[in-house]
Chains A and B, each alone.
Chain A
Amino acid sequence: MKRYRVGIDIGGTFTDLVHFDEESKKFSVVKVPTTPKKPAEGALNAIEKARIEFEDIYMLVHATTLGTNMFLGQEGLHPPKLALITTKGFRDVVEIGRQKRADLYNLFFEKPEPIVRRRDRYEVKERINAKGEVITPLNEEELRKIAGEIRNKGYEVVVVSFLHSYRNPIHEIRAKEIIEDECPNIEVITSHEIDPEYKEYERTSTTIVNAFLKPMMSKYLTALLDALKGRGFKGRFFVMQSSGGISKIDYAIKKPAAFVESGPAAGAVAVAYYSKITGDSNVIGFDMGGTTAKASTVIDHEPSITTEYEIGGKAHAGRLVKGSGYPVRFPFVDLAEVSAGGGTVAWIDEGGALRVGPISAGADPGPVCYGKGNTKPTITDANLILGRLGEKLGGGILTLKKDLAKDALSKLADQLGMSLEETAFGIVKLANTVMAKALRIVTVERGYDPRDFTMFVFGGAGGLHGVELAEELNVKSVLIPPRAGVFSALGLLLSDYRADKVRSVIRSAGDISEDEIERIYAELVDEAVREVSIENAEIKMIRQVDLRYKGQAYEITVPWMNDVEECVKAFHDKHEALYGFSSPDEPVEVVNLRVTAVGVMSKPEVKAEKDAEHEPKPENYRGVYFGDGWMNTPIYARNKLKAGAKIEGPAVIEDYDTTIVIPPNYTAFVDGYSNIRIVRD
């Protein structure tokens, strides 16, 4: 029976399962602890706990943080033995990187350790120039010698990356043949197959990250699928990409580096889907959990995408610090990250100033009020003292220890010479400022003004901060979707099939003909269609071209309009719109051609309940602290709110995995899809 569509997201602490029942047309969720040593087991446990039959699942979409964990050196994950073969003179390209350091003032900084050690990097005589001409033929004899060494040293995967292979891959192709011939049991991956774009460091790095993840991901995914089949699963199995699209398992095995941020990508997909239901065209998705807050932007119901990503990289003020990780040049949902979450610690520095973060008590030991031994007050402790958070969470599963939180915060209050509630309120305000400023920077940087946006707030801690954060940003309205605590996982059920293909051409716009461009597009479309073809799916094909002024290092992407001149015109216009000027007399270069194939999947149909405006009755009242002091505040249970409910602030709405604070002068409305929209009076 084709009854369930299931999404499973394996995170660091919890494995979330979301399923949609085609009979009842309803979503349900299940949370189980992640089983780090045997992640597949957690997935199976979740399905069992959801009480659905494996045979009834017709489609399962999977997301996992395993790829990221591999980079964090998680126990039990074994990195493969890798070798790199590159052009003579260039084996250190991957070690020097872009030559910059990620930390300006720290004299004890480290660059990310090269994934392939220098001793495992081999050079071979060959050279192709920027035009794609062979200026030094591949020295096959030398290569065979290297292949012999590779065989003897027990490497599992070999990466081949030669200069200008994006232009002419002939040497990489030949090298692969030779190594495969000499070493029949060793996997060979070439850079032009994985990332045929120019800039040697980024291309080689992307290829190496793939090689690094491939054996583990292939083993894991195959084992998971086998286990599912063993229990009777007969449906289709998909994996979520970092781009927010889903794909078949073979692509996930071929390019695992395109899947490392699958969980957060699903969150952005869920935001996009709900923004269509609610009719919001500019949305900031704000996801605040235990240790970090993440923000995505969704314009016209499409998540914003970037190709600048570094795995293992660090963020500062919401932005990725270049050079802090390993570049991976695939499409990623563009996420800004701030280290602020429920577990983030408040402290007083040597100069006597109050600071919030970046240290976090995480989920374990967690905030002081969890009673698991942490004594440093956190954002959650401040929310508890302010009455924003109730003492019983999850319908009574967890009881928070308010007295412990008070003790911890009193120490800070004494040092600051402020009252307990002023201190707690200060922590919340400061956390909101830090998050708001970081969000402002990342939206402004992408050319948007947050004032034009609606904010969708989710994640366990999102509802506590969303409204005040929005006020800092001058965002006009806040929307809390249903199941906010596991909202990200919901995106797994709402995605489309997607394949992205790119090719660098780097030619003057006047020098390249439409015919030549169409020829390359035809090849890219062919490759992309092969990846997304699935019965009955409608395929949308998006062709784009990256252009730039000659000599500049940044490109602008415009749609391909079957005419180079038209594209150049569109480029000038977009440059003007983005940067306030354009230079119609300057020569323009065609840098990359891009194809995105989207296989449109059917989506679960969410039905709206009829709404009728009414004022619901609160469950009870408690004192909650807002800027002007304590207020006796009504507390509502979210699961009892019906469509059309209207609640005036101050108020608190409690859900089983999140709490929503509505400050004075704000009103909340519940719509037919159980969304809560909060707007200023």
Chain B
Amino acid sequence: MDAVTIEIIRNSTEYIAEEMGIVLRNTAYSPNIRDRMDCSCAVLSAKGELVAQAEHIPVHLGSMAVGAKNVVEYIEKEGVEVEEGDVIIVNDPYIAGTHLNDITLLKPIFYNGRMLGFVANKAHHVDVGGSVPGSIGINAKELIEEGIVIPPTKLVKRGKLDNEILRLIASNVRVPKCTIGDLKAQIASLNVGTKRITELADKYGYECVVEAWNRSLEYTEKYLKTKVDRIPDCESEAVDYLEFGDELININAKIEIKGNRLRVDFTGTHEQIDAPLNAVFGVTVASTSFALKAVLDPDLPMNYGFFRAVEIYAPEGTIVHPIKPAPVSAGNVETSQRIVDVLLKALSEIFPNRVPAASHGSMNNVVIGSQTWAFYETLGGGMGARPTKDGVDGVHTNMTNTMNTPIEVIENEYPMLVLEYSLRDDSGGAGKFRGGLGIRRVYKVLSNAVLSITAERVKLRPWGLKGGMDGASGEHYVIKANGEKIKLSGKDTVTLSDGDVVVINTPGGGGYGKPEERNPYLVLGDVKDGKVSLSSAYEQYLVKIVEKDGELVVDFEETERVRGYGSKGD
């Protein structure tokens, strides 16, 4: 088989996954899938190996590689006979790999009676039951409180939708119309995928497609191993923490490179807890894939070949590989970010020129609502400074990338006023390259409501690298109508009265390199832009800035004095 045909089939398979994603988004009911694109689609081999995936948020990257293979193995183990036209539904995170809200559908593709592979998709459903609306609550102690748990089950049997199962699911969720609409969209997307794969086999033949898929897995494996082989053998370890009550929950990671083998080991990580911060193994795999892909090669094609070249070990019973029935809903949104942080920290030792300082490290989930309305959004923060440039201000980083809600939309739709939306001055870690600034968002509620917040990096600040300072930590509070200020811990549920104000200050990114090595003109620019205060310029960057003829200028004499010699210019 020639290289061109392999490449054409590989490319076509990737586009089929993309097209499935478009069908899913175009036919889905909930804005969560349509607008925030919290979904992904994949094509898998007959063994359940990921061949191609279209994902729009990194937290789904590679999670399908674990999830779909688990499902295929589960089916085999249970002796379930898969037939043409079947669709299997599953959301058990301990099998499907994320959290209960993510429902996975999987459909076998038969070609002239022979199994060719599977198409699958995963979508975040707005509610799957459980103790709180939206199913993600910080108080859950076990999985069952987070919603209905669906083991791999045939939702469609030989092309016929099983309405009993659909009703059973619909009776266990808060917005059944939405759930049914979204499931039907998922089925429509699988049907298009099946059709396109069949057309591909019509054109190139069954054997040719199977071989091209195998060859593309081998290609990714070989590509990655070649890259790893060029890296001298080494080991690097790091630890970082999640905040939980008065406790710090450690995540440990060790990266070992030996020849063309790359191994990631989470031994030493804190054991699982009775709170939803547990990240199922699929999330750990997704986060690890993100960190490795971003550092080794952002353009690396993602398929099962990746996991043949990389070994990921996470001891069972830990927060990065919990055992049932630990609750897991926030593992996706918060723990995933910390896994990336700890891996980036370890990778920064091996690839000092490729890894930024820590980013804000939290998705800063804000839910405000009452019985009649609910507003949910996640807020970005400062990106960590990079070895060659500053961190980006006010942006979503690493495992998520969802858009904000425009203020004019919020105020038209919800009883709220937004009083401020800005970059947090002085929140970026000082350094030769400055960490990105966090975001300040201030809401005033115009009716009684409940605020629920899940945020991290409130105690521990995002770390700097190579002498760079840490970024500012998150700082969130409620100001009552009488002026009373209630500080929030980052994992709170608070009752609000009409007129109360909620202030969210998201963390800034860590700095890179020593602040006193920063070009004084860059410091001057930041001061002029109000991103760094005059006092920080002097105290942290050792740059004296003064006003001269109505304009801010660097006082080089004083700057040289405090910085020592050779500080002028770069």
Contact = CB atoms under 8 A, between A and B. Distances in A.
Given A130-B408, A199-B409, A351-B222, A100 B294 contact: no
A680 interface: no
B285 interface: no
Interface in B98-130: none
A339 to B, nearest CB: 14
A429 B394 contact: no
A227 to B, nearest CB: 41
Given A95-B423, A440-B19, A434 B11 contact: yes
Contact of A93 (B177, B401, B421, B530): B421
A445 B394 contact: no
A536 interface: no
Please indicate which of the listed interface residues A200, A322, A353, A447 has the most CB atoms of chain B within 10 Å of its own CB. Answer: A353
Given A89-B442, A353-B6, A580 B422 contact: no
A441 B401 contact: no
Nearest to A88: B420
A595 B531 CA distance: 43
A336 interface: no
Contacts of B184: 580-581
Interface stretch (B26-34, B139-147, B454-462, B467-475): B26-34
B207 interface: no
B406 A96 contact: no
B9 to A, nearest CB: 9
B409 A352 contact: no
A444 B19 contact: yes
Contacts of B4: 354, 418, 422, 425-426, 429-430
B421 A352 contact: no
Contacts of B412: 130, 198, 506
A19 interface: no
Nearest to B373: A551
Contact of B401 (A100, A117, A425): A100
Nearest to A507: B412
B223 interface: yes
B345 to A, nearest CB: 13
B413 interface: yes
A164 B15 contact: no
Given A105-B290, A351-B220, A92 B422 contact: yes
A58 interface: no
Nearest to B177: A583
Given A430-B8, A441-B22, A111 B422 contact: no
A103 B298 contact: yes
B3 interface: yes
Contacts of B389: 108, 110
Interface in A560-606: 578-581, 583
B75 to A, nearest CB: 29
A350 B221 CA distance: 12
B226 A429 contact: no
B392 A109 contact: yes
A433 B8 CA distance: 7
B484 interface: no
Contacts of B417: 129
A98 B404 contact: yes
Interface of A (DSSP majority class): loop
A100 B529 CA distance: 22
A107 B29 contact: no
Contacts of B3: 352-354, 416, 418, 426
Contact of A554 (B11, B35, B290, B397): B35
Interface string A112-152: 00000111000000000110000000000000000000000
Contact of B420 (A89, A101, A130, A430): A89
Nearest to A506: B412
A200 B379 CA distance: 17
Interface in B54-111: 58
Q: Give the residue among A93, A110, A553 with the most B Cβ atoms within 10 A.
A: A553
Contact of B411 (A93, A107, A130, A351): A130
A69 to B, nearest CB: 26
A129 B407 contact: no
B2 interface: yes
B267 interface: no
A91 interface: yes
Contacts of A119: 528-530
Contact of B396 (A99, A441, A447, A550): A99
A104 interface: yes
B226 A350 contact: yes
Interface in A238-252: none
A107 B392 contact: no
Contact of B7 (A111, A199, A430): A430
Determine which residue in A93, A119, A425 has the highest number of CB atoms from chain B within 10 A of its CB, and name it: A119
A105 B61 CA distance: 11
Contacts of A422: 2, 4
Interface in B213-253: 219-220, 222-223, 226-227
A96 B22 contact: no
B380 A108 contact: no
B419 interface: yes
Contacts of B413: 550-551
Contacts of A551: 31, 413
Interface string B155-193: 000000000000000000000010001001100100000
B404 A99 contact: yes
A680 to B, nearest CB: 15
Interface string B398-441: 00011110111101110001011111000000000000000100
A620 interface: no
A104 B184 CA distance: 29
B293 interface: yes
Given A353-B7, A437-B15, A441-B15, A107 B422 contact: no
Contacts of B397: 101
A235 B510 CA distance: 62
Nearest to B531: A118
Given A99-B403, A117-B529, A91 B422 contact: yes
A201 interface: yes
A202 B408 CA distance: 11
Contacts of B8: 429-430, 433
A101 B401 contact: yes
Contacts of A108: 386, 388-389
A665 interface: no
Nearest to A447: B26
B298 A437 contact: no
B2 A106 contact: no
Interface in B1-55: 2-4, 6-8, 11-12, 15, 18-19, 22-23, 26-27, 29, 31, 34-35
Contacts of A322: 403
Contacts of B2: 416, 418, 422, 426
B355 interface: yes
6 contacts: A105-B293, A105-B299, A130-B411, A416-B3, A426-B3, A430-B8
Interface of A: 89-93, 95-96, 98-101, 103-111, 117-119, 129-130, 163-164, 166, 198-202, 317, 322, 349-355, 416, 418, 422, 425-426, 429-430, 433-434, 437, 440-441, 444-445, 447, 506, 550-554, 578-581, 583
Pick the 8 closest A-B CB pairs, nearest first.
Answer: A351-B223, A426-B4, A89-B420, A105-B298, A118-B529, A437-B15, A130-B411, A96-B394
